[in-house]
């Protein structure tokens, strides 16, 4: 069963209270009105529509060179690489559905590109905030089978990543996928050992460990769980080797926010504030540390900006699915909480009302979206009183 965990950040709120060529986004709506996002909760119709996935603004902050057929025209090779990079950055910002469409576009440009098939399989799987959707198993399995068929032309590093991904999926949903998740993570540990200076592999390995223990890295008293040190070590290694890696910094914030020393992620928070201006979730992420370190107004500012970014994205792309249903309201929820703690009454009240307006109330009865009730329960009555 798919479980959306994004609203578990509510627990963090309550405990806290007792080199890019892209142009940064501003208040203007970016020109991305064609192709992105489906109009339904699921995205199956988009894949059958023949639409072209656009290049989205504010995401060109990272490139992970992949093997591309040298016989292809230069412009096509460049597009394949850019779609792969965009998919990776979107995945690092937890916009997995949009990432999948980017990787898919890469396979449409070259159906023999193994790493685009790898990327497509990667983002269809479970993540830190959600389990795997049952209807993704066949697609993910078929994608990684295709990647394996094509990987002989790949580098050893790429073959390692594809081999690990092949252990993650079966054609049909198992009753318990914990053995698959562990096999995938164990294989990534070896790839990370073989390529110790690759920040992306270190990040993927850390993520694979976190996905096995979502929101369960620390005891309530801040004592680390047995698996937490390896996660932190992998992410710190990735940040050391690639100081501007958005995925490593993002996961590092999550890895230490519930610890006794969340302030150690303040450099990551400062970096993420401007690192990926087109990713509303990454723009929002500094507030996870600011709310834990008493910098409530800084948390307000981070979420004001993230709400602006995601407002433009969801309107321009007509985005549907988990991201606008859970992640966008999460930013508004955090904004109201930070404003409350900062004593900014009017903003706390107005953003709480805005949160209500952005809720998919009709989905709250679905077990997979039950955490939306945390947003709906956020108090708004009496906001006009002293």
Which of 135, 131, 151 lies closest to 215 in space, CA to CA? Answer: 131
Per-residue model confidence (pLDDT) at position 364: 78
Q: How many domains does the chain have?
A: 1
pLDDT at 81: 99
The answer to which of 16-25, 149-158, 343-352, 363-372 has the lowest mean pLDDT is: 16-25
Say if 308 falls within a structural domain: no
Would residue 340 count as lying in a domain? Answer: no
Q: What CATH number corresponds to the domain at position 50?
A: 1.25.40.10
The domain in which residue 84 lies consists of: 19-285
Whether residue 321 is contained in a domain is answered as no
Asked if the model's pLDDT at residue 60 lies above 60, the reply is yes
151-172 pLDDT, tens digit each:
999 999 999 999 999 999 999 9
pLDDT at 14 over 50: no
Handedness of CA 173, 176, 179, 184 (dihedral sign): positive
Mean pLDDT of the chain: 88
Residue 155: alpha-carbon gap to chain centroid = 26
Residue 333 lies in a domain: no
Would residue 108 count as lying in a domain?
yes
- Residue 3: inside a domain, yes or no? no
Give the whole-angstrom CA distance, residue 105 versus residue 99.
Answer: 10
Q: Which region among 212-226, 269-283, 291-305, 360-374 has the lowest average model confidence (pLDDT)?
A: 360-374
Q: Let me know: does 380 contact 352? Beta carbons within 8 Å.
A: yes
Q: What is the pTM of this model?
A: 0.89
Q: Is residue 256 part of a domain?
A: yes
Position 379 scores a pLDDT of 61
What pLDDT is attached to residue 340?
Answer: 96
Q: Read off the pLDDT of residues 109-128 as tens digits, 9 standing for 90 and up.
A: 999 999 999 999 999 999 99
pLDDT digits (tens, 9 = 90+) for 70-94: 999 999 999 999 999 999 999 999 9
| Residues forming beta bridges with residue 127, ordered by sequence position | 130
Q: Does the pLDDT value for residue 32 go beyond 90?
A: no
Q: Look-up: residue for tokens 């590109």?
A: 113
- The answer as to whether 245 is a domain residue is yes
The reported pLDDT for the residue numbered 5 is 55
């Amino acid at each position: 069963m798919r479980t959306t965990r994004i609203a578990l950040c509510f627990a963090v709120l309550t405990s806290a209270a007792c080199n890019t060529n892209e142009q940064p986004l501003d208040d203007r709506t970016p020109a991305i009105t064609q192709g992105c996002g489906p109009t339904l909760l699921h995205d199956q119709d988009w894949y059958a529509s023949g639409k072209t996935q656009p290049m989205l603004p504010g995401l060109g902050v990272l490139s992970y060179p992949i093997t591309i057929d040298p016989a292809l025209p230069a412009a096509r090779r460049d597009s394949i690489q850019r779609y792969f990079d965009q998919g990776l950055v979107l995945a690092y910002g937890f916009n997995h559905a949009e990432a999948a469409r980017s990787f898919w576009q890469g396979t449409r440009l070259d159906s023999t590109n193994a790493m685009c098939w790898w990327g497509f399989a990667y983002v269809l799987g479970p993540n830190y905030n959600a389990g795997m959707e049952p209807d993704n198993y066949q697609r993910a399995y078929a994608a990684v089978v295709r990647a394996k068929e094509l990987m002989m032309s790949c580098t050893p590093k790429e073959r390692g990543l594809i081999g690990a991904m092949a252990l993650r999926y079966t054609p049909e949903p198992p009753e318990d996928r914990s053995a698959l998740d562990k096999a995938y993570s164990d294989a990534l540990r070896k790839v990370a050992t073989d390529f110790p200076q690759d920040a992306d592999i270190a990040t993927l390995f850390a993520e694979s460990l976190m996905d096995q223990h979502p929101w369960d890295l620390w005891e309530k008293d801040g004592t680390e769980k047995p698996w937490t040190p390896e996660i932190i070590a992998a992410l710190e290694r990735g940040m050391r080797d690639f100081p501007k890696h958005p995925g490593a910094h993002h996961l590092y914030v999550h890895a230490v926010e519930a610890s006794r020393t969340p302030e150690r992620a303040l450099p990551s928070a400062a970096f993420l504030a401007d690192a990926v201006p087109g990713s509303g979730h990454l723009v929002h992420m500094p507030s996870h540390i600011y709310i834990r370190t008493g910098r409530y107004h800084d948390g307000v500012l981070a979420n004001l900006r993230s709400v602006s970014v995601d407002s433009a994205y969801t309107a321009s792309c007509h985005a549907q699915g988990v991201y606008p249903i859970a992640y966008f309201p999460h930013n508004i929820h955090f904004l109201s909480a930070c404003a409350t703690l900062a004593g900014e009454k009017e903003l706390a009240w107005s953003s709480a009302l805005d949160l209500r307006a952005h809720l998919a109330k009709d989905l709250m009865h679905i077990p997979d979206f039950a955490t939306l009730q945390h947003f709906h329960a956020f108090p708004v009555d009496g906001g006009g009183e002293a």
